[in-house]
């Protein structure tokens, strides 16, 4: 191992933000995969658009603030904020051009061949035009509010990511004055795509018209006596990453509520405009929003591609979608037996979405109805609307159980939903706290305390994903049920810490951030290094969503230098450079992009033939290690260990949905020439069928 190398040097790190964009490129590549059903390809296009929205709302906004506050600060790869923004602009402009090329030149023609059409204004026949005119008059016109711009009608406040139109007018207004510009905002309550009725289409056709086309086609009706010379759609993206000074407030919930009210009006960070818009009108909007050219996007189509996703549920064409599947329950859980009896016999592992989320809901429901259950404690980060988990917790509280819930109010973009959730739980006499000041509570834990004879027993559930019924069908995650006393005691101690804010005595089995998780992971990497140096087999396989924490990256570099085989399965961001001679030639980084969003976090260490397998809520990121409350828990049952290791082996064998990272930061799709196609997600679906 060459210890003379400076592993902190910027040349050994990839840029975090550009790595995010590389992931979005991999998502967009799914739109061109002919093995993917057509409507799913359209979905991937929409996902790539919404990913870019969030990237600008959060990451670009953060860089803009950094450029203003600390312009000389360098990222791990040695770039200033300004330099990162320059790279981002080039990459995103190319990405957006590709998005609209895919829409216009690939997907729309393919959809048309399947009798699914997006009709432009010049394609409307008279029957369709008459129906759309009536629709505009009855459904749109009454709720549209055009604003003619003058000193008494200032430029309206533009909501984040809303659909708007800039209009150029000629002629006299009602008061005899020359007209110039007007702005029309499309209310968010309106669908962005309108499906024409069957009487306006041939049998078997699905005809759709963009809301923007309808407004453009009939906008003259809103300006009687004047002529609309130009009508062009635009959209503004704003900074949505609000800040709450938790040390200076008395009530976190009220502070978050206050910030939410302003989220739609943060600083402008991106402007998208119809590419046919005249230069003088573009300049007018750019000046109005104070944006530079690098954050202007002229687009050949609707300014918000993600809203096209609305058609997915409107078209009943199963052959154009992924085949339906029903998550299964493990056989021992499918017989309506007591969950407590089953968990007491052995640990139970659920693998979502292949296995159902229902057993966890059943676990809570049984706890709510069981007279021997005294208390339930749970963390909630994201739950979704109409959550059966919340229903069960409310029922338990009303049944007299002691129910404590740790709600993270600052779960990004779910803050409003979590505020409502907190109010509902409090109304049911649930003890609700909002985590810890300065640290997001991201751990996924549930603990049921049950009286069995003279003993108070712990039944724990620990997971890698949120307690969210919908995402449990879309994200890959693990959930572990256990009645292990030491594990349960650890979970109980962490809950006490989160409510009392007292210190936790040494944990038996769990690693917890911000205290022991980072040190624990580094220690296990170091142990593999020592095994390799002694000539023993040494191997690390980690599957996470992101690898950006620099000290962990340096530890993995040292492991590679010592001869440890390192396999990283990283869905999104990765700042580690694999394949550098003398530094990381023993590290492989791969990303899986498929039907399901890869979400579980798994840390495995060969440990000289005595493998250790850990599951966690935490990625290898600085925020997860030091600014969040996370847990990492061992899977000690040998059969469950083998099952997880077999799953990881499948990910490493995927030759269809896998992408390999090189040391320049680029990903290449794994080729399967001469080999049978192996898709790990497809094989897992088959194994649970």
Asked if the model's pLDDT at residue 41 lies above 60, the reply is yes
Of 325, 394, 387, the residue nearest 360 (C-alpha): 387
**Active-site choice (232, 351, 442, 468):** 442
Phi then psi for 688, rounded to 5 degrees?
-100, 0
Range in 156-160, 251-255, 401-405 with the lowest mean pLDDT: 251-255
Whether 442 is a known active-site residue: answer yes
pLDDT band at 280 (very low <50, low <70, confident <90, very high): very high
Q: Does domain 513-688 have CATH number 3.40.640.10?
A: no
In sequence order, the β-bridge partners of residue 620 are 547
Q: Using alpha carbons, select from 379, 208, 181, 189 the residue that is nearest to residue 281.
A: 181
pLDDT digits (tens, 9 = 90+) for 645-687: 999 999 999 999 999 999 999 999 998 778 899 999 999 999 9
Q: How far apart are CA 559 and CA 467, in angstroms?
A: 35
Query: Which residue in 595, 590, 349 sits closest to 475, CA to CA?
Result: 595
- From 154, 296, 311, select the one nearest 236 (Cα to Cα): 296
Kindly state the percentage of the chain with pLDDT values over 90. Answer: 80
CA distance 280 to 397: 62
- Give the model confidence (pLDDT) of 133-163 as tens digits: 999 999 999 999 988 887 667 888 999 999 9
What average pLDDT score do residues 231-245 get? 82
Among the four given CATH numbers 3.90.1300.10, 3.40.50.880, 3.40.50.1450, 3.30.870.10, the one describing domain 331-509: 3.30.870.10
pLDDT (tens digit per residue) in 168-222: 988 766 666 666 889 999 988 889 999 999 888 888 899 999 999 999 999 999 8
Structure-token pair, residue 567 = 């396999």
Q: So what's the pLDDT on residue 260?
A: 56
Give pLDDT, residue 177: 64
Closest CA to 288 of 234, 241, 242, 239: 234
Q: Are 48 and 27 in contact (CB under 8 A)?
A: yes
pLDDT reading at 2 higher than 80 = no
Written out in words, the top-level CATH class of the domain with range 12-320 is alpha beta
Residue whose structure tokens are 């998550």: 327
d(CA 631, CA 668): 33
Tell me, yes or no, if the two domains 12-320 and 513-688 fold the same way. no
Neighbours of 72 (CB within 10 A): 8
Once rounded to an integer, what is the mean pLDDT over residues 366-385?
94
pLDDT at 254: 65
Checking if the pLDDT of 130 tops 90, the result is: yes
User: Which pLDDT belongs to residue 606?
Assistant: 98
pLDDT in tens, 287-311: 999 999 999 999 999 999 998 999 9
Give the CA count within 13 Å in the CB-facing half-sphere of 555.
21
pLDDT of residue 248 exceeding 60, the answer is no
1 falls in which pLDDT band (50, 70, 90)? very low
Cα angle: 519, vertex 574, 611; to 5 degrees:
50
CA count, 13 A, side-chain hemisphere, 494: 35
Domain ranges in the chain?
12-320, 331-509, 513-688
* Average pLDDT value for the chain: 92
Interaxial angle between packed helices 517-533 and 550-562, expressed in degrees from 0 to 180 and rounded to the nearest 10:
10
Task: Write down the pLDDT at residue 256.
Answer: 61
């Amino acid at each position: 191992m060459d210890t003379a190398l400076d592993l902190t040097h910027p040349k050994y790190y990839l840029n975090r933000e550009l790595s995010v964009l590389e992931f979005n490129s991999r998502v967009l590549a799914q739109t061109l995969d002919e093995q993917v059903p057509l409507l799913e390809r359209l979905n991937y296009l929409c996902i790539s658009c919404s990913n870019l929205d969030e990237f600008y709302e959060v990451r670009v906004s953060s860089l803009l603030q950094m450029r203003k506050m600390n312009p000389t600060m360098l990222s791990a790869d040695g770039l200033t904020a300004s330099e990162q923004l320059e790279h981002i602009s080039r990459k995103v402009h190319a990405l957006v051009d590709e998005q609209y090329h895919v829409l216009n030149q690939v997907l729309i023609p393919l959809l048309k061949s399947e009798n699914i059409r997006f009709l432009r204004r010049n394609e409307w026949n008279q029957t369709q035009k008459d129906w759309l005119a009536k629709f505009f008059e009855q459904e749109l016109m009454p709720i549209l509010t055009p604003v003619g711009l003058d000193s008494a009608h200032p430029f309206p406040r533009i909501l984040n990511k809303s659909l708007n139109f800039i209009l150029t007018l000629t002629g006299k207004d009602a008061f005899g004055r020359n007209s110039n510009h007007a702005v029309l905002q499309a209310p968010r309550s309106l669908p962005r795509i309108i499906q024409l009725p069957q009487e306006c289409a041939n049998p078997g056709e699905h005809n759709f018209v963009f809301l923007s086309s309808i407004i453009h086609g009939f906008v003259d009706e809103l300006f009687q006596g004047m002529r609309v010379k130009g009508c062009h759609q635009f959209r503004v993206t704003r900074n949505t990453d609000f800040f709450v000074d938790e040390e200076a407030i008395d009530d976190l919930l009220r502070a978050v509520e206050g910030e939410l009210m302003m989220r739609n009006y943060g600083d402008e960070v991106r402007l998208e405009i119809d590419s046919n818009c005249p230069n003088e009108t573009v300049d007018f909007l750019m000046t109005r929003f104070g944006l530079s050219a690098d954050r202007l996007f002229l687009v050949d189509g609707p300014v918000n591609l993600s809203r096209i996703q609305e058609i997915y549920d409107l078209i009943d064409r199963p052959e154009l979608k992924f085949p339906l599947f029903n998550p299964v329950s493990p056989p021992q859980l499918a017989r309506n037996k007591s969950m407590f009896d089953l968990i007491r016999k052995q640990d139970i592992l659920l693998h979502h979405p292949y296995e159902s989320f229902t057993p966890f809901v059943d676990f809570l429901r049984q706890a709510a109805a069981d007279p021997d259950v005294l208390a339930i404690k749970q963390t909630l980060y994201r739950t979704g609307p109409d959550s059966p988990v919340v229903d069960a917790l409310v029922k338990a509280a009303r049944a007299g159980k002691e129910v404590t819930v740790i709600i993270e109010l600052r779960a990004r973009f779910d803050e409003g939903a979590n505020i409502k959730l907190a109010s509902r739980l409090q109304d049911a006499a649930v003890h609700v706290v909002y985590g810890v000041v300065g640290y997001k509570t991201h751990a996924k834990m549930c603990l049921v305390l049950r009286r069995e004879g003279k003993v108070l027993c712990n039944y724990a559930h620990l997971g890698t994903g949120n307690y969210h019924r919908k995402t449990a069908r879309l994200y890959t995650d693990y959930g572990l049920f256990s009645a292990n006393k030491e594990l349960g005691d650890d979970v109980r101690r962490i809950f006490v810490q989160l409510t009392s804010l007292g210190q936790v005595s040494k944990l038996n089995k769990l690693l917890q951030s911000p205290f022991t998780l980072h040190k624990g992971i580094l220690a296990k990497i170091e142990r593999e290094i020592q095994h390799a140096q002694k000539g023993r087999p040494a191997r690390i396989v980690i599957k996470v969503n992101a690898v950006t924490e620099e000290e962990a990256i340096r530890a993995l570099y040292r492991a590679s230098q010592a001869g440890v085989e390192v396999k990283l399965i990283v869905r999104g961001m990765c700042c580690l450079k694999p394949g550098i001679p003398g530094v990381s030639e023993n590290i492989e980084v791969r990303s899986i992009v498929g039907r399901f969003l890869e979400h579980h976090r798994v840390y495995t260490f060969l440990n000289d033939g005595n493998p250790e397998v850990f599951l966690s809520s935490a990625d290898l990121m600085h925020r997860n290690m030091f600014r969040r409350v996370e847990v990492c828990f061992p899977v000690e049952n040998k059969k469950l260990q083998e099952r997880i290791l077999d799953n990881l082996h499948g990910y490493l064998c995927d030759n269809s949905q896998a992408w390999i990272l090189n040391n320049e930061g680029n990903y290449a799709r794994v080729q399967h020439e001469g080999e049978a196609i192996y898709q790990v997600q497809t094989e897992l679906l088959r194994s649970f069928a």
